[in-house]
């Protein structure tokens, strides 16, 4: 293991944990109720090993092509793998093999595909409904939308709940670019609350990244997805 890299990641982890503690203090929340997921996309498996040695239990990836071999390489580590990226239905089989939590379920068809694959793999996946917090902006966009329109969240949740291989865990969102994260996460918190009225066990709110984790904690996030602040700038590599 590269000890310089390990020291750097250790220092970053201390800094992120301090930010989380301060934000929890300010919000009157217990830091134990907030899980830091280290987003290791574009980073090699040795970084995952370093994180595991430092006590990180949760890692996140956003591309199946990268995540599948990395998860296999780290199969000896006792980690919870979170899939946080756009997911094509034809990747459901692969993701169902290694992911423990899928944050990006945004359509009923994807829920059905994940459910079928989880069952055939003999696994249970926790699934979050990804919410599009700025549906107007993506209305004309062709291709994956990156989240369900808030009006469609309940239908996606029902589709997850109906699958034997899936457990409805809660909601996830990315704050829209250029938007006020506090307003965005406040909207997410409302969606989460509506979902909990119907499914009381679906308590997860996955929100907040390196740049906006304080705003997410203030609005009730239970899971933060932190890449850059832990592992450094991804540079020109497209995440």
Ligand X SMILES: *Cc1c(COP(=O)(O)O)cnc(C)c1O
Shortest Cβ 122–ligand X spacing (Å): 27
- The verdict on 209 binding ligand X (CB under 6 A) reads yes
Give the whole-angstrom CA distance, residue 82 versus residue 38.
9
Give the whole-angstrom CA distance, residue 80 versus residue 124.
13
- The verdict on 15 binding ligand X (CB under 6 A) reads no
- The verdict on 147 binding ligand X (CB under 6 A) reads no
Q: Which residue has the tokens 């696994």?
A: 123
Stretch that binds ligand X, among 16-24, 51-59, 64-72, 206-214 (CB under 6 A): 206-214
Q: Which residue has the tokens 């994260």?
A: 181
Give the whole-angstrom CA distance, residue 135 versus residue 147.
8
Stretch that binds ligand X, among 9-17, 25-33, 45-53, 205-213 (CB under 6 A): 205-213
Shortest Cβ 120–ligand X spacing (Å): 27
> CB-wise, 114 or 128, nearer to ligand X?
128
Stretch that binds ligand X, among 89-97, 113-121, 131-139, 227-235 (CB under 6 A): 227-235
> CB-wise, 35 or 210, nearer to ligand X?
210
Shortest Cβ 233–ligand X spacing (Å): 8
> CB-wise, 8 or 161, nearer to ligand X?
8
Shortest Cβ 226–ligand X spacing (Å): 5
> CB-wise, 78 or 233, nearer to ligand X?
233
Residues 31-70 that bind ligand X (CB under 6 A): 39, 41, 62
- The verdict on 207 binding ligand X (CB under 6 A) reads no
Nearest residue relative to ligand X (C-beta): 227
- The verdict on 228 binding ligand X (CB under 6 A) reads yes
- The verdict on 225 binding ligand X (CB under 6 A) reads yes
- Do 21 and 48 meet the contact criterion of CB atoms below 8 Å apart? no
> CB-wise, 122 or 238, nearer to ligand X?
238
- The verdict on 80 binding ligand X (CB under 6 A) reads no
**DSSP, residue by residue, the chain:** --HHHHHHHHHHHHHHHHHHHHHHHHHT--GGG-EEEEE-TTS-HHHHHHHHHTT--EEEES-HHHHHHHHHHTTTS--EEEE-S---GGGHHHHHHH-SEEEEE-SHHHHHHHHHHHHHHT--EEEEEEB-S-HHHHTT--S--SSB-GGGHHHHHHHHHT-TTEEEEEEE--PPTTS-HHHHHHHHHHHHHHHHHH-TT--EEE---TTTHHHHHHTT-SEEEESHHHH---TTS--
Report the interface residues with ligand X, using CB under 6 A.
Answer: 39, 41, 62, 84-85, 174, 209-211, 225-229, 239
């Amino acid at each position: 293991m590269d000890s310089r890299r390990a020291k750097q990641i250790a220092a970053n982890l201390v800094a992120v944990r301090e930010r989380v503690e301060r934000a929890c203090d300010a919000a009157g929340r217990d830091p134990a109720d907030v899980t830091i997921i280290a987003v290791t996309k574009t980073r090699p498996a040795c970084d995952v090993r370093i994180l595991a040695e430092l006590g990180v239990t949760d890692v996140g990836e956003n591309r199946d092509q990268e995540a599948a071999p990395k998860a296999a390489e780290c199969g000896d580590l006792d980690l919870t793998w979170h899939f946080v990226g756009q997911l094509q239905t034809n990747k459901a089989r692969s993701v169902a093999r290694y992911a423990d939590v899928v944050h990006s379920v945004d359509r009923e068809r994807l829920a059905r595909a994940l459910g079928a694959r989880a069952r055939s793999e003999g696994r249970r996946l926790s699934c979050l409904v990804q919410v599009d917090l700025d549906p107007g902006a993506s209305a004309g966009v062709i291709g994956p939308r990156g989240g369900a329109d808030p009006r469609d969240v309940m239908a996606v949740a029902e589709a997850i709940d109906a699958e034997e291989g899936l457990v409805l865990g809660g909601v996830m969102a990315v704050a829209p670019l250029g938007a006020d994260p506090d307003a965005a996460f406040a909207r997410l918190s409302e969606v989460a609350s509506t979902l909990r009225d119907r499914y009381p066990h679906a308590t997860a709110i996955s929100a907040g990244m390196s740049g906006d984790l304080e705003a997410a904690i203030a609005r009730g996030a239970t899971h933060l997805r932190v890449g850059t602040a832990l592992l450094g700038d991804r540079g020109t590599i497209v995440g």
